[in-house]
């Protein structure tokens, strides 16, 4: 597992960043005494970390989320309790960021706090989603998020999937594209995520293998 105290997870709509953020926080909790997951995804009210509050609680992960979570209200938020995610040195914090610059704007006010600590900013990439099939497709969201939150991406997460129908071939067929994206962005692939049980060998240049649990949102898709 990575050693940074704060890990910010971003990505295009449908990239699977929320599922990854939930699973990554749970994995961190198996290694660290205190882990918090901060839901700053104000863009998508239908699939968010707050939907998994009980799963996170059972795993011992603290959830920090907007009072408007699980509603149709979309607005930036920065509650007092969110500050401890960035200030409490005893916490390992994971931040689930929105799919465009609106979510990143809320994070931007904490840029100085984050810069003063160990932090990673990862882009989750699902090459099977629209607007995620080339480096040029992803460049726009890179610039939007970096400009709004005043932080630079430090790595990529390869998350190739088509939902429950994903096969090992879907994973391996995404590898050449992820190599191209990594080279174009000048960023390492830190992890390749996949559903538990898939028999896939991850090459060293595509990071470590990270097994995901399968979570559905409250609408069942």
Taking only the tens place, the pLDDT of each residue in 73-98 is 455 455 566 788 888 888 999 999 86
Q: How far apart are CA 191 and CA 40, in angstroms?
A: 22
Look at residue 220 and tell me if it is in a domain: no
pLDDT of residue 112: 83
Look at residue 178 and tell me if it is in a domain: yes
CATH number, position 32 = 3.40.50.300
Look at residue 219 and tell me if it is in a domain: no
Look at residue 63 and tell me if it is in a domain: yes
Q: Angle between the 135-149 and 175-185 helix axes, to the nearest 10 degrees?
A: 50
Looking at residue 5, what DSSP letter applies? S
pLDDT of residue 221: 29
Residue ranges in the chain whose pLDDT is less than 70: 1-4, 41-51, 66-81, 98-103, 214-221
Q: What is the DSSP string of 199-210?
A: --PPPGGG-EEE
CB 144 within 8 A of CB 100: yes
Look at residue 1 and tell me if it is in a domain: no
Look at residue 217 and tell me if it is in a domain: no
pLDDT of residue 220: 34
pLDDT of residue 48: 61
pLDDT of residue 104: 78
16-38 tens-digit pLDDT: 998 999 999 999 999 999 999 99
CB 185 within 8 A of CB 135: yes
Count of domains in the chain? 1
Nearest alpha-carbon partner for 210 in 139, 159, 144: 159
Look at residue 183 and tell me if it is in a domain: yes
Domain assignment of residue 14, given as a range: 6-212
């Amino acid at each position: 597992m990575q050693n940074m105290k704060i890990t910010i997870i971003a990505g295009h709509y449908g990239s699977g960043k929320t599922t990854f953020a939930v699973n990554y926080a749970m994995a961190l909790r198996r290694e660290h005494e205190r882990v918090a997951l901060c839901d700053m995804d104000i863009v998508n009210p239908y699939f968010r970390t707050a939907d998994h509050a009980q799963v996170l609680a059972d795993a011992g992960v603290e959830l920090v989320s907007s009072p408007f979570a699980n509603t149709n209200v979309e607005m930036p938020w920065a509650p007092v309790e969110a500050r401890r995610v960035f200030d409490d040195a005893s916490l390992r914090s994971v931040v689930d960021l929105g799919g465009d610059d609106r979510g990143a704007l809320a994070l931007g006010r904490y840029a100085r706090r984050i810069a003063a600590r160990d932090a990673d900013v990862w882009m989750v990439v699902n090459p099977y989603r629209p607007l995620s099939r080339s480096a040029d497709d992803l460049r726009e969201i890179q610039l939007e998020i970096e400009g709004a939150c005043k932080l630079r991406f430090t790595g990529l997460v390869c998350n190739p999937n088509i939902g429950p129908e994903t096969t090992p071939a879907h994973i391996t067929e995404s590898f050449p594209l992820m190599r191209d994206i990594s080279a174009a962005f000048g960023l390492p692939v830190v992890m390749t995520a996949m559903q538990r049980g898939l028999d896939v060998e991850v090459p060293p240049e595509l990071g470590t293998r990270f097994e995901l649990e399968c979570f559905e949102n409250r609408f069942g898709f």
